Homo-oligomer: A and B are copies of this chain.
Amino acid sequence: MTSSPASKRQKHSSASPSPPYELLYWPTIPGRGEHIRLCFEETQTPYTDTCNADPQTGPQTLRSLISGANDGDATNPPPLAPPALRHGDLLLSQTPNILLYLGPKLGLAGPGGGDGDAVYHVNQLALTALDGLSDEAHDTHHPVATGAYYEDQKEEAKRKAADYISNRLPKFLGYFERVLRGEASGGGEWLYGGQLTYADLVLWQCVDGVSFAFPVAVKQMREGGKYGRVFGLYERVKGRENIAAYLKSGRRQKYSMGIYRHYPELDAEEV
């Protein structure tokens, strides 16, 4: 994608043209940056993915941004960690915060376009998916120390992953199943208000990531039939024209050693 000014999809922004969007995130993995990418891709909004665009200078830019020597600038506090989003003079970090900012601008914040209370429901759903299906999924392979090697916490990781598969994953999938069954979903196709929001894109990426990390466990849950609405939404997002084209493109990074990692010894056993 190019970094040209905003497309016509940005109907919720002010009359003056929107400055270009720049995503700053580690290259070569989907990671937390993927939630931001999916919003741009679904809405065909031009953006620059700095580190993937230039694997030489991009990561240097990102590293200086999150360096302990950076105190931020006149209006922006420093980011602690990526992803960060630059939009004109604004620099934001924290995945759910960036999504909250983009949601109304890209038409992904639910009925009312960010003017009413729908955006708080969408934010709630995105936060919950990120908690249980991204942060907790990460912690299964790093339960003791984020900065240490997996191999040095492998036994703890086995216990953590077993608990995740038995208790936490069903809890969160069951929650989203209820959300889709509920009236506020507006028919059960999407999580809130009968239309695609960024919460749906977040849930899709989370379910996709968890499916990579724990293919056997997720296959069993899927075949168990208790989460039909969640997997229905998953297929629905995956089949959307812009998302499907993105997933086939070189812009979609492969899972490897990021948030979602596939260690067979942490997955459920085939039955």
A-B contact pairs, 30 of them (CB 8 A): A71-B181, A71-B182, A73-B182, A73-B183, A74-B184, A75-B121, A75-B184, A77-B121, A77-B185, A78-B175, A78-B178, A78-B179, A79-B124, A80-B175, A90-B120, A92-B120, A93-B128, A94-B128, A97-B120, A101-B120, A135-B135, A143-B156, A144-B159, A144-B160, A145-B159, A145-B160, A147-B163, A147-B167, A153-B159, A156-B156
Please give me the residue from chain B that is nearest to A125 by CB atom.
B77
- Note all chain B residues with C-beta closer than 8 A to A101: 117, 120
| Interchain CA distance A183-B77 in the complex, whole Å | 8
Chain A interface mostly: helix
Interface size of A in residues (CB-CB distance below 8 Å): 57
> Are A72 and B128 CB-contacts (below 8 A) given A168-B146, A191-B77?
no
Cβ-defined contact, B146 with A143, below 8 A: no
Contact of A77 among B73, B76, B184 (CB under 8 A): B184
| Interchain CA distance A178-B183 in the complex, whole Å | 45
- Note all chain B residues with C-beta closer than 8 A to A45: none
A contacts, CB < 8 Å to B:
68, 70-80, 90, 92-94, 96-97, 100-101, 117, 120-121, 123-125, 127-128, 132, 135, 139, 143-148, 153, 156, 159-160, 163, 167-168, 171-172, 174-175, 178-179, 181-185, 191-192
Contact of A178 among B70, B94, B127, B182 (CB under 8 A): B70
| Count of this chain's copies in the oligomeric assembly | 2
- Note all chain B residues with C-beta closer than 8 A to A171: 80
Please give me the residue from chain B that is nearest to A90 by CB atom.
B117
- Note all chain B residues with C-beta closer than 8 A to A120: 90, 92, 97, 100-101
Specify which of A73, A93, A184 lies most central, judged by the most chain B CB atoms within 10 Å of its CB.
Answer: A184
| Interchain CA distance A185-B75 in the complex, whole Å | 8
